[in-house]
């Protein structure tokens, strides 16, 4: 890790921050090339590299992942195949192969029975030297029955009677390429010899309470498990090493958070007048969660530090109202706000949803997307620059240099993961004297452990209640063999004035996935229901998509056939029926988001999940969870348990750290503890100058937390 390597904060160090000292010399041996370890030549080094191991430090954080229990058996008659056992035998005779591809057999025995040892493709000289007739040997390996006779194929150990016997429990390392267990064990033992004495960075009271060993002792114990229990994440050595990883990561996020909070922002203190108008005009009061979130945002905006807050809410939890009230704070303070959406469809939906609220407040609202051209666009740009537009709703078009604000105080970014870092920096540059406060929204409920790992540098507001008036959704799971029944029920509902979505997974036929295409389903439903059916998918021209959506919103169309383009942000309160075809092919979170497109008004809503037999266990479990609950956070936790952290957030853009030992899915409590510990330490010791602070510095260097190292000098 070179000193001049930029961190993820953009590489910009605050002026008063001195460059951190280099890696402590004590750690140098752990960062040497893997080839410096015994038994690791170029071929083995290449195999290790494929496992992400290039230095002794990496090998220390790659402990055994499994183990083999070897039972010592006094006599052959005590064997209980299949099992891995260690036995003492006498070699009786060799039976060479009788043809190509046939094995070499060695018949062995003791006073109580026989054991045949089998080798494939072995050299005669080697076998006869290892197992000479008439000699006693100790064998250890997997014993199985073949034609009723006990046999051992390729023993793991062939020892002389005086040799040290194999351990009763033998650790198993992950392997790749030409690596063997012996190579890994020897290299790991050499890496452990390089572990230096370092001061303890875990709080002594926590260490004692948890019963965890010291760092060096934990590494040694993790690489020498004495039984299957020592491989568990709850084993003291493993738990301590997992905490080290989590603490280093949370310390980094705490430092980044502090650095961001130190940066100058604008004090935006609203008088509440505009917000009061909106709240007075609502059909029902905001939830307690919405009120809390707005209060947190208002408090952040009233400080001279830049706000960096994540607003996380389940489907229908009322994020849009919170975002608009936050934008009104900026307007009340004499400034402007912008709401960014990842797609034009979502931007237009936001505009439609916010227009009645803007009318209540008496503020001017406008939208700017890529389709705005000519004089209309020029007029919007002039009004934004002059401050005549209070709140701008837009897509990526807002990032363009031609867009200039009179006084941008707050930027709200919807579905943050769809915007890149560079785009957010461009938006930050549009503030007049300082970057605008930032509020990031996500409609995807994220398990707490993943939120702490991915967004731990941000302040978090969670909307965990649904506003009054939101109706529960009845979820029905049916085989697609019942399709005629579904269409018949749909006929009756549409005749009574209902509106419905019909979601298909793909736009075009795919022989590989065998999923019904939206265009094909649209044609069939159009033949069934006539001119009341519209189609919408991501490959359509924007104008055609908007026209179809407009027809559905106004009621000219009653059935909207769509792909997952409607997954986020589409808000048509009159829509009360959602049919999802081949539901088993969707992920849990996606199904939950799609279902959330209905139940948004006062009418009773239904979601029909159509599946195709045969249904595998994973698909069955997902559909069962959807039928059992509407709680997005419970669904997110189930999704995490089924798929793992990277898949839940999307591996490419998850933003998750790569932990070697810690398990985000199962160690959420440990992560929360590390977060609390890191923040408390930084409050007490801002410059990490105490004895524990200095020890933490060593941990951060060992864990290669570049971002933290860049910020360690800032007080």
Same domain flag for 482 and 344: no
The reply to whether 414 and 486 lie within a common domain is: no
The two three-digit tokens of residue 594, written as one number: 């799609």
Contact 351, 393 (CB under 8 A): yes
Q: Give the structural domain span for 540.
A: 473-629
Answer yes or no: are the C-beta atoms of 201 and 227 closer than 8 Å.
no
459-471 as b/e: b if 16+ CB within 10 A: bbbbbebbbeebb
* Residue 607 exposure: Cα atoms within 13 Å on the Cβ side: 26
Residues 6+ apart with CB under 8 A from 287: 317, 318, 463, 465, 466, 467, 468
CATH number reported for the structural domain that contains residue 560 in this entry: 3.40.50.300
Q: According to the model, what pLDDT value does residue 466 have?
A: 74
Rounded to an integer, what distance in angstroms lies between the CA atom of residue 227 and that of residue 225? 6
Ramachandran class of 469: left when φ > 0, alpha when ψ lies in -120 to 50, beta otherwise: left
Residue with tokens 């837009």: 394
277 in the same domain as 156: no
Q: Is residue 19 part of a domain?
A: no
Q: For 186-225, how does the pLDDT look when each residue is reduced to its tens digit (9 = 90+)? A: 999 999 999 999 999 999 999 999 999 999 999 999 999 9
> How many CB atoms are closer than 10 A to CB 555?
12
Strands 605-611 and 575-580 come out as: parallel
DSSP letter (8 states) at residue 96: -
Q: For the domain that residue 119 is a member of, what is the CATH number? A: 2.40.50.140
Element (H, E) at 185: helix 181-193
Q: Give residues with Cβ within 8 angstroms of 480, minimum separation 6.
A: 581, 582, 610, 611, 612
298 and 420: one domain?
A: yes
Examine the domain organization and report whether 396 and 481 are in the same domain.
no
Helix, strand, coil share of the chain (percent; to 5): 45, 20, 40
- The reported pLDDT for the residue numbered 11 is 32
Same domain for 337 and 449: yes
Q: Are residues 110 and 92 in the same domain?
A: yes
Write out the DSSP string of 561-575.
Answer: EE-GGGSSS---TTE
Would you give the distance in Å from CA 350 to the centre of its chain? 27
Give the domain-ending residue among 133, 166, 199: 166
pLDDT in tens, 576-604: 999 999 999 888 878 888 898 888 877 88
Tokens 């029902």, located at residue: 284
Q: With left for phi above 0 and alpha for psi between -120 and 50, is residue 640 left, alpha or beta?
A: alpha
pLDDT of residue 508: 52
Domain boundary among the residues 435, 463, 491 is at 463
CB neighbour burial string for 477-501, b if at least 16 within 10 angstroms, e if fewer? bbeeeeeeebeebbeebbeeebbbb
Same domain, 479 and 421: no
Dist. CA 373–CA 389, nearest whole Å: 18
By three-state DSSP, how is residue 18 classified? coil
Domain count, the chain: 3
**Do residues 61 and 661 lie in contact, with contact meaning Cβ atoms separated by under 8 Å?**
yes
Rounded CA separation 656/249 (Å): 10
- The Cα 368–Cα 387 span in angstroms is 15
Last residue of a domain, one of 629, 645, 670: 629
444 lies in a domain?
Answer: yes
Nearest alpha carbon to residue 27 among 207, 215, 183, 185: 215
Look at residue 181 and tell me if it is in a domain.
Answer: no
Instruction: Yes or no: say if 289 and 407 are a contact pair by the CB < 8 Å rule.
Output: no
483 and 458 in a common domain: no
**Shared domain check, 545 and 477:** yes
Q: If the chain, 715 residues long, is cut into consecutive pieces of 10 residues, what is the mean pLDDT of each piece?
A: 30 35 87 95 94 95 92 92 93 90 92 93 90 94 91 93 87 90 94 96 95 97 93 95 94 82 82 96 91 96 89 82 97 95 83 93 92 84 95 88 91 70 66 85 70 70 76 90 94 93 71 58 92 87 85 93 76 90 86 86 89 87 89 74 50 56 84 91 91 93 78 49
- Give the ranges where 387-514 is alpha helix by DSSP (H): 421-428, 448-455, 483-495
């Amino acid at each position: 890790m070179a000193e001049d390597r930029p961190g993820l904060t953009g590489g910009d160090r605050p002026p008063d921050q001195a460059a951190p000292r280099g890696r402590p010399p004590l750690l140098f041996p752990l960062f040497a090339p893997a080839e410096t370890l015994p038994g690791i030549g170029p071929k083995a080094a290449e195999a290790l590299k494929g496992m992400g191991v290039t230095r002794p430090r990496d090998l220390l954080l790659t402990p055994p992942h499994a183990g083999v229990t070897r039972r010592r058996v006094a006599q052959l008659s005590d064997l209980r195949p299949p099992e891995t056992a260690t036995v003492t035998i006498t070699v009786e005779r060799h039976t060479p192969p009788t043809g190509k591809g046939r094995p070499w057999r060695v018949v062995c025995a003791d006073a109580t029975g026989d054991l045949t040892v089998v080798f494939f493709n072995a050299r005669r000289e080697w076998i006869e030297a290892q197992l000479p007739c008439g000699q006693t040997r100790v064998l250890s390996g997997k014993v199985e029955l073949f034609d009723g006779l006990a046999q051992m194929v390729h023993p793991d150990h062939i020892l002389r009677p005086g040799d040290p016997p194999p351990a009763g429990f033998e650790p198993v390392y992950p392997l790749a390429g030409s690596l063997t267990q012996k190579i890994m064990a020897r290299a790991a033992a050499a890496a452990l010899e390089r572990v230096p004495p370092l001061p303890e960075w875990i709080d002594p009271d926590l260490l004692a309470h948890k019963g965890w060993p010291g760092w060096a002792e934990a590494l040694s114990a993790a690489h020498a498990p004495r039984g299957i229990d020592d491989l568990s994440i709850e084993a003291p050595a493993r738990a301590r090493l997992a905490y080290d990883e989590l603490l280093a990561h949370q310390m980094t996020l705490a430092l980044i958070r502090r650095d961001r909070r130190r940066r100058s922002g604008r004090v935006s203190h609203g008088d509440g007048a505009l917000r009061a108008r909106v709240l007075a005009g609502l059909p029902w009061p905001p939830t307690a969660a919405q009120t809390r979130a707005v209060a947190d945002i208002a408090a952040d905006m009233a400080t001279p530090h830049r706000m960096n807050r994540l607003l996380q809410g389940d489907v229908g939890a009322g994020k849009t109202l919170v975002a608009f009230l936050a934008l009104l704070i900026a307007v009340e303070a004499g400034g402007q706000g912008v709401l960014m959406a990842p797609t034009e469809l979502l931007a237009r939906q936001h505009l439609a949803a916010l227009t009645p609220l803007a009318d209540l407040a008496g503020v001017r609202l406008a939208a700017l997307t890529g389709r705005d051209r000519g004089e209309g666009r020029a007029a919007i740009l002039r009004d934004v620059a002059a401050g005549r537009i209070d709140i701008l709703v837009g897509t990526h078009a807002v990032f363009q240099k031609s867009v200039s604000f009179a006084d941008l105080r707050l930027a709200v970014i919807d579905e943050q993961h769809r915007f890149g870092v560079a785009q957010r920096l461009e938006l930050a540059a549009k503030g007049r004297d300082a970057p605008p406060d930032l509020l990031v929204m996500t409609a995807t409920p994220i398990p707490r452990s993943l939120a702490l790992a991915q967004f731990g540098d941000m302040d978090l507001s969670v909307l965990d209640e649904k506003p009054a008036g939101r109706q529960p959704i009845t979820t029905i799971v049916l085989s697609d063999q019942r399709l005629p029944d579904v269409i018949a029920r749909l006929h009756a509902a549409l005749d009574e004035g209902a509106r419905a979505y019909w979601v298909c997974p793909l736009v075009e036929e795919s022989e590989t996935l065998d999923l019904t295409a939206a265009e094909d389903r649209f044609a069939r439903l159009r033949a069934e229901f006539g001119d009341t059916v519209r189609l919408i998918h991501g490959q359509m021209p924007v104008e055609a998509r908007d026209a179809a959506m407009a027809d559905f919103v106004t009621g000219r169309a009653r059935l909207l056939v769509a792909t997952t383009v409607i997954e986020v942000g589409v808000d048509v309160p009159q829509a009360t029926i959602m049919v999802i075809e081949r539901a088993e092919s969707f992920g849990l979170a996606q199904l939950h988001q799609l279902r959330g497109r209905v139940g948004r008004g006062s009418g009773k809503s239904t979601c029909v999940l159509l599946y195709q037999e045969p249904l595998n266990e994973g698909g069955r479990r997902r559909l069962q969870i959807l039928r059992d609950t509407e709680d997005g956070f419970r669904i997110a936790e189930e999704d995490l348990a089924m798929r793992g952290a990277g898949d839940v957030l999307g591996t490419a853009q998850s933003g998750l750290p790569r932990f070697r030992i810690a398990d985000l899915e199962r160690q959420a409590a440990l992560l929360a503890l590390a977060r609390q510990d890191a923040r408390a330490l930084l409050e007490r010791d801002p410059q990490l100058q105490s004895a524990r602070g200095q020890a933490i510095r060593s941990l951060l260097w060992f864990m290669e937390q570049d971002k933290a190292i860049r910020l360690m000098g800032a007080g």
